[in-house]
Structure 1
Amino acid sequence: MIEDEELVMSPLCQTLEKNHCAVEILIYKGISDENWVLELEDEFGNSSVWDDLFATDKAALNAALEAIDDEGIEAFIGEPSPESKPLTEEEYAIDLAERVTASLPMAVTPTKALIHNVRNHETQPVKLKPRQRLHVDKCVYLGDEAGIACCCIAAGEPIVSSITHLKLDPKHPLYKELKDYQLKRKARLAYEGLRNDGCFRVD
């Protein structure tokens, strides 16, 4: 729809639904114009604008109804834009990891599970303590099995941990979203019976 000038909207504008599809019938004109513009807009924001102008809004409405009857409402439904398509679970995790990266550094503390895993890791010389403050300097998505992982430095040694094994700072701007990701991932791993130590050595 034209947005750079003041428009007069017809009272005949309406939503039409057929065959589980819906379009907005938009009839409008510039405040100083005599003729009406006809536009159909689908739920994804795609629009079809008639080249011809109409002397009355009633004539424009009749043209829209006739076109929908002749061609079918599906002819005026386009494809969703990439922005409107829901992200897959993997796409969401990648996007979340990228947004965390943009907000680094991030302070975290190790969970009991991470402390235990590090202590029992033969090639990991670092010993973590409860409430030990760690700073995340990198966040990546390592695939479906490992999920989002964070690189932390402890005693000069890098530790890459699954984000599910880290306690987050409630003041972080992405805290709520990250906490939700942690809970959902833990529930999924428990349901699928997957084993994830959550700690990796980086040489």
Structure 2
Amino acid sequence: MMETILHPAEGRSREAGQKSREGKSMMIDDDPELEYSSLCEEVRREGTTVKLQIFRLKGSTDGWSLEVVDHKDGSTVWEDLFATDQEARDEFYRTLELEGIHSFAEDRPSESLH
């Protein structure tokens, strides 16, 4: 079961990765096809690496989703869509500068949760 922690002030939530017994992420076969931005990347700071993922439903013009995945497959997802993939990337870096890379880590200290 996934654990979700909502950060209402920031409009994002955290979900712990769902794992199978082998430790691999479980996938549902009928997941919609996604289009990933060319701005996706791994970011490393202070010894911590996160994956910046910007995506939308393939063929959609509804906007871009922003997700940051930590080293334990914990996920921070913004609830709002972004008009462009660049706006999503800018929001990630704005949050990174304000809160630090550890704000995206699943095992961050509980007092740092919003």
Normalised by the shorter chain, which TM-score bucket?
0.5 to 0.7
Partner of 1:9: 36
Q: Which residue identity is paired with 2:41?
A: Q
Partner of 1:76: 104
CA drift at 1:52: 1.1
Partner of 1:64: 92
2: CA distance, partners of 1:70 / 1:22: 17
Structure 1: give runs of 5+ residues left out of the alignment. Answer: 80-203
CA drift at 1:31: 1.2
Partner of 1:172: none
Structure 2: give runs of 5+ residues left out of the alignment. Answer: 1-16, 18-26, 108-114
Partner of 1:19: 46
Kindly name which structure, 1 or 2, has the bigger radius of gyration based on alpha carbons.
Answer: 1
Partner of 1:46: 74
Greater helix fraction, Structure 1 or Structure 2:
1
CA drift at 1:45: 0.3
Detail structure 1 runs of 4+ shifted over 3 Å in the superposition: none
Q: How many residues align?
A: 79
Aligned residue runs from structure 1 range 50-199, under 5 A: 50-79=78-107
CA drift at 1:33: 2.0
TM-score by structure 2 length? 0.65
Alignment RMSD: 1.7
1:11 is paired with a residue whose SS is coil
